[in-house]
Structure 1
Amino acid sequence: MTSQSAVTSAPDKTKPQAPRKRFTTTQIVDIGVQTSVIVVLCLAWQLGAKMGAINPFLLPALSDVLGRIWSDMMSGAVFVDLALTLYRTLSGFFIAAILGIPIGILMSRVAVFRWFFDPLISVGFPMPKIAFLPIFILWFDIYDTSKIIMVTFSCFFPIVAATYAGAVGQDKWPLWSARSFGATELQTLWEVRLPAAMPQILTGLQVALPVGMITTIVTEMLMGGRGIGGSMIMAGRFADSVGVFAGILEIVFLGFVVVRGLEAVRRRLLIWHPETRK
């Protein structure tokens, strides 16, 4: 009995193990080159400011900017500004996605929706959306509501355009195959049309999210208040160049995290797609 239990409890060495994810040589080289470029730029920034090659008022030293960010982190001001900017950006972005994706699908399926929205999208897409900010301030308020609606308005157009393009330019053979097996129109939508359009939809979301962040920061600069944009414009009014560049680095960090996060979501949702297998 003891020997049998020992045999059964012993690990099965013949069972194939899942391959560990390893970086390829190309990926290692890419990471090394990108890191080197960032390090060289930071060193040039720091040395140029400290050696007097650049006016420290126009371009303060990187160490001074990082010291300002650290002191703001200790006081909690950075986290408040980052949280407010991220909240406004993501709120407007998700509202635009909830509205834009169904409208893009309906435009590809229903002629009435296409006739109504196609001229609006064609005219509104290239327009500078920030021009509508005074109207939104008059209609709503000077607080978060108008800022979030401004972000929603900016993100709406690329999401609708990408969804419509992905839903229209689909191969007919999967649709015909699904219908030949008796799939209903709703089943065809959820199991064929949406998965086929998903890469294009996610591309539209990846375009819209940075646009939403830019809109958030610009509206904060124009309207004031807390947030990264508001803190930067306040520092600029008091000729605080260190505070302005601290806000720029905070924007870089926040943008990097948000964009990389959406890329991870794309890989997760498109795990079945050939682009993910590559």
Structure 2
Amino acid sequence: MGAVMAVIGRTEDGVRSSPVASALVWLAGIAREYGSLVLVLICWELVARLSLVPPYLMPPFNEVLVRIWAEIGDGTLWVNLLDTLRRTLVGFGIAVVAGVAIGLLLARSSTAEWLVGPLVSIGFPLPKIVFLPIFILWFGVYDTSKVIMIVCDAIFPVITATVAGAQGVERQIIWSARNLGAGERDLLWTIILPAAAPQILSGIEVSLPIALIVAVITEMMLGGTGIGAAMMESWRFAESTGVFAGLLELSIIGFLLIRSMNALRRRLLRWHAEAQADLV
């Protein structure tokens, strides 16, 4: 271990590294970031293999991987994955566009604040899932109800983040821009949106996993296709391997979505002080 740390130390000090040293640095970074996850998976496999828990309650991890591989081979995974992602991203996209628009309107218009503000204040803490029976009555049990449910849940973090970001812009900057002849549209695109972008993107980052969660919940409740629906079908037949396979698949999807959103945030804010601080 001392020799490994010495190699890593020389690499970090700027000494030219060999491929072996680079690999060791990479492995050390992986262990530092995902060591706890690997430990959980090892414990899962040991608990199942030692029969500490009945197999129908917790199948071995390797059997779950075999199930996922089988679903990849017969195409089941791709059908369910694409349906879940389609509903998630459509609902999320609508929530982002509508949420930013409503948030800017609330921040810039006292009339809109008077009309819509109380609805946002009441709707934010309300469990939006209570509207699902109404949406089923109005739109049926298919994709329309699921997407609308996603929008209803995912839109509120975007609205509140946009309002906070837009209202947090320094008034002196706005006054200076107005004195230079900037109109309302110029203020919006060149001053308010860039200044509020970090907070808006934070709200969007919160909204994305909410959209995925609601998509899976509606699939579980309404059936059809999707990973959530496949998990419920496995549950009905007491196939715990299928349930845990869906859990693992959703964990990977959520991880990749969050990482993609983080990368997009860094790219969009590469001009911002936040991005410059990350480079230091």
Q: Normalised by the shorter chain, which TM-score bucket?
A: 0.7 to 0.9
Separation in 2, partners of 1:89, 1:144: 11
Q: CA offsets per residue over residues 251-270 of structure 1, 9 Å max, x none?
A: 00110111111111111111
The secondary structure found in structure 2 opposite 1:56 is coil
Paired residue total: 255
Separation in 2, partners of 1:215, 1:53: 33
2:251 aligns with 252
Provide structure 2 residue ranges, at least 5 long, that are not aligned to the other structure. 1-21
Separation in 1, partners of 2:76, 2:85: 14
The secondary structure found in structure 1 opposite 2:121 is helix
What is the Cα deviation at residue 29 of structure 1? Answer: 5.8
* 239-248 or 35-44, which deviates more: 35-44
The secondary structure found in structure 2 opposite 1:182 is coil
What is the Cα deviation at residue 67 of structure 1? Answer: 0.3
- RMSD (Å) for aligned C-alpha atoms: 1.8
Separation in 2, partners of 1:169, 1:228: 40
Paired residue type of 2:244:
F
What is the Cα deviation at residue 233 of structure 1? Answer: 0.5
Paired residue type of 2:52:
A
2:128 aligns with 129
1:177 aligns with 176
The secondary structure found in structure 2 opposite 1:55 is coil
2:266 aligns with 267
Paired residue type of 2:204:
L
- Relative distance call for 1:30 and 1:68 in structure 2 (3 A) is same
1:237 aligns with 236
Separation in 2, partners of 1:152, 1:104: 15
Provide structure 1 residue ranges, at least 5 long, that are not aligned to the other structure. 1-22
Separation in 2, partners of 1:105, 1:67: 49
* 178-187 or 59-68, which deviates more: 178-187
* 110-119 or 242-251, which deviates more: 110-119
The secondary structure found in structure 1 opposite 2:57 is coil
1:228 aligns with 227
- Counting only pairs closer than 5 Å after superposition, residues 16-31 of structure 1 correspond to structure 2 as 31=30
Separation in 2, partners of 1:40, 1:152: 36
Separation in 2, partners of 1:238, 1:225: 16
What is the Cα deviation at residue 56 of structure 1? Answer: 1.6
Residue 81 in structure 1 maps to residue 80 in structure 2:
yes
Paired residue type of 1:161:
T
2:151 aligns with 152
What is the Cα deviation at residue 181 of structure 1? Answer: 2.5
2:13 aligns with none
Paired residue type of 2:54:
N
1:9 aligns with none
What is the Cα deviation at residue 194 of structure 1? Answer: 0.5
The secondary structure found in structure 1 opposite 2:249 is helix
Separation in 2, partners of 1:97, 1:274: 24
* 183-192 or 61-70, which deviates more: 183-192
Separation in 1, partners of 2:142, 2:234: 20
What is the Cα deviation at residue 173 of structure 1? Answer: 2.5
What is the Cα deviation at residue 30 of structure 1? Answer: 5.6
Separation in 2, partners of 1:182, 1:112: 25
Q: Percent identity?
A: 46
- Counting only pairs closer than 5 Å after superposition, residues 5-154 of structure 1 correspond to structure 2 as 31-154=30-153
Normalising by the residue count of structure 2, what TM-score does the alignment of the two structures yield? 0.87
Paired residue type of 2:46:
L
What is the Cα deviation at residue 34 of structure 1? Answer: 2.4
What is the Cα deviation at residue 27 of structure 1? Answer: 9.7
What is the Cα deviation at residue 273 of structure 1? Answer: 1.0
Q: Which runs of 4+ in 1 moved over 4 A?
A: 26-30
* 218-227 or 96-105, which deviates more: 96-105
- Relative distance call for 1:198 and 1:27 in structure 2 (3 A) is farther
What is the Cα deviation at residue 131 of structure 1? Answer: 1.0
